[in-house]
């Protein structure tokens, strides 16, 4: 595959690396230490911070947007976090941890303004259909620092792809639990799914179909960039992920 002539769908397939890279700030111990200082209990900072982009909504709306979580886990965390602070402030504090992680962990010798500009164009032109967390995150105030801005916008891109992937998973007939079993079995406890878990082997073909559908849908958004820009984006994401 030539990076210089990469198609939108090929770029979408390669850009899936953004999910694991951006998620690092979400799983870092410092994120939850800060959440505890704010008054959140354990992973409730994740639920309130990420879900807070939706506003003061019922717990099942957050569950619908999170897709892969066991519903009871989301409902409990959403209820416990309500007295700590407003939903909007929780989202802003969560975004602040994204920015802090960028300052503390991203090297300075990268073209962050270019990355932020490319991702910003994709996010600005993207439809919010079926992507409520993306829509809410895009509405938050953006930081000025180039590293922080790049990671902020990359998280928006992650939310966009995640929503499209969730839709693809459901359309191929996979339940959220089944998708987690195939793709991220090490995350089953975090997502709150108790044993017994289904056998992943009979589910892998449908998972592959969902991935292909995700690439097609996500690729439509990456078509906002020309081939050279898509190649630059994929190259930078590959370098960061490595």
Per-domain boundaries in the chain: 8-241
Looking at the predicted structure, is the pLDDT value of residue 17 above 80?
no
State the angle between helix axes of 204-222 and 112-125 in degrees (0 to 180), rounded to the nearest 10.
100
Higher local confidence (pLDDT), 109 or 75: 75
Contact between 101 and 22 (Cβ < 8 Å)? no
Identify the band that residue 19 occupies on the pLDDT scale cut at 50, 70 and 90: confident
| Nearest residue to 155 via CA among 29, 31, 10 | 31
In 3D, which of 156, 216, 220 has the Cα closest to residue 18? 156
Whether residue 242 has pLDDT greater than 80: no
- pLDDT, tens digit, 9 for 90 and up, residues 112-136: 999 999 999 999 999 999 999 999 9
pLDDT of residue 130: 95
pLDDT band at 239 (very low <50, low <70, confident <90, very high): confident
Half-sphere exposure of 164 (CA within 13 A, CB side): 24
Q: pLDDT at residue 210 above 60?
A: yes
Inform me whether the pLDDT recorded for 54 exceeds 80: yes
Kindly report, residue by residue over 139-181, the tens digit of the pLDDT.
999 999 999 999 999 999 999 999 999 999 999 999 999 999 9
State residue 20's pLDDT score.
78
pTM: 0.95
2, pLDDT greater than 60: no
Average pLDDT taken over every residue of the chain: 95
Residue 4 has pLDDT above 90, yes or no: no
Burial class (CB in 10 A: 0-12, 13-18, 19+), 28: middle
């Amino acid at each position: 595959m030539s990076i210089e002539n990469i198609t939108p769908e090929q770029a979408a397939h390669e850009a899936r690396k953004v999910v694991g890279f951006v998620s690092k700030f979400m799983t870092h111990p410092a994120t939850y230490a800060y959440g505890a200082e704010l008054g959140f209990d354990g992973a409730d900072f994740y639920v309130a911070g990420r879900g807070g982009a939706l506003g003061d909504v019922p717990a099942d709306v957050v569950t619908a947007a999170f897709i892969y979580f066991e519903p009871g886990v989301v409902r409990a965390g959403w209820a416990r976090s309500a007295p700590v602070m407003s939903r909007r402030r929780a989202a802003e504090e969560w975004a602040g941890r994204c920015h802090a992680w960028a300052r503390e962990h991203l090297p300075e010798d990268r073209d962050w303004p270019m990355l932020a500009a490319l991702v910003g164009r994709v996010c600005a032109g993207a439809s919010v259909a079926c992507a409520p967390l993306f829509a809410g995150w895009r509405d938050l105030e953006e930081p000025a620092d180039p590293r922080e801005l790049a990671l902020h916008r990359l998280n928006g891109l992650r939310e966009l792809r995640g929503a499209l992937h969730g839709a693809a998973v459901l359309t191929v007939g996979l339940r959220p639990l089944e998708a987690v079993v195939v793709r991220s079995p090490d995350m089953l406890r975090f997502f709150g799914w108790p044993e017994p878990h289904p056998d992943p082997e009979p589910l892998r073909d449908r998972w592959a179909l969902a991935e292909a559908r995700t690439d097609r849908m996500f690729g439509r958004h990456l078509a906002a960039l020309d081939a050279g820009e898509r190649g630059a984006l994929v190259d930078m994401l590959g370098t960061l992920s490595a």
